[in-house]
Structure 1
Amino acid sequence: MRILLASVLAVSALLAGCTTPGDLKSGKATISASSSKAPKQYALCVMPKWQDARSGATMTETASGYRLIVATDSTAEELLEVNRASNGSTVALYQRLSWAPGYGRSAIEKAVRDCL
């Protein structure tokens, strides 16, 4: 039983290691939607809400829109990609361990939905 518990703890520790935005994108988006807002307008709606929920939120402009990231130390926790579309924007939220509750996670998801 101790060996099994030690194995589970070791695997958990490995999974909790460094996560990059690219790692988050390799999984399925937690929220995938579209908005009639332009990428900048949508990102500027979400960003202050994310900063209220998690002070580590950052926003950068990309070639096709904006990228918002919440990170702690060297681990990306939340990634929102907002890209230009013909009728506004496409939005994709990626989360590390999306099944696990996290500090500010419900506020992060709510902001993504409320700004659509």
Structure 2
Amino acid sequence: MRFLMAGLGLVLLAGCVTTADLEGNKPSISVVSKRDPKQYAMCVFPKWQAARTDSFMVETTNGYRLWVANSGLADELLDVTKTPNGSLIELKQRMSWSPGLGRDAIEKSVRDCL
């Protein structure tokens, strides 16, 4: 029983990971788009939802933030930040080298919507 409780505690701690954990990662994609943040986010988000139902989007003070979570862990983080001529697009990934579920579609949509 103690092992079960200890294991459950570790699982709960792992579930506390947020998008903040990916903010320090180097972007796997960092580009500038002529589209404004809303246009870009509204292009990408439906494609993310089609690829992964666990996709989320929020409006920020200077753009939009999209992320994909899996079992409480953020796997993909896309920041769309307003610039004077459009948007700065930065995709940060937990394990960019790993072929995760829907990862190709996630990356393709980031590029296709530029």
The percent identity for this pair of structures is 55
Tell me the equivalent position of 2:63: 65
**What is the letter of the counterpart of residue 20 of structure 1?**
T
- What does residue range 1-80 of structure 1 map to in structure 2 within 5 Å? 17-18=14-15, 19-80=17-78
Q: Cα RMSD (Å) of the superposition?
A: 1.3
Tell me the equivalent position of 2:110: 112
**What is the letter of the counterpart of residue 70 of structure 1?**
V
Unaligned runs of 5+ in 2: 1-13
Inter-partner Cα distance in structure 2 for 1:102 and 1:73: 13
Inter-partner Cα distance in structure 2 for 1:77 and 1:84: 23
- What does residue range 90-101 of structure 1 map to in structure 2 within 5 Å? 90-101=88-99
**What is the letter of the counterpart of residue 89 of structure 1?**
S
Shift in Å at residue 73 of structure 1?
A: 2.3
**What is the letter of the counterpart of residue 105 of structure 1?**
R
**What is the letter of the counterpart of residue 28 of structure 2?**
T
Hey, which bits of structure 1, 4+ residues long, moved more than 4 A?
none
Unaligned runs of 5+ in 1: 1-16
Inter-partner Cα distance in structure 2 for 1:96 and 1:20: 11
TM-score (norm 2): 0.85
Shift in Å at residue 25 of structure 1?
A: 1.2
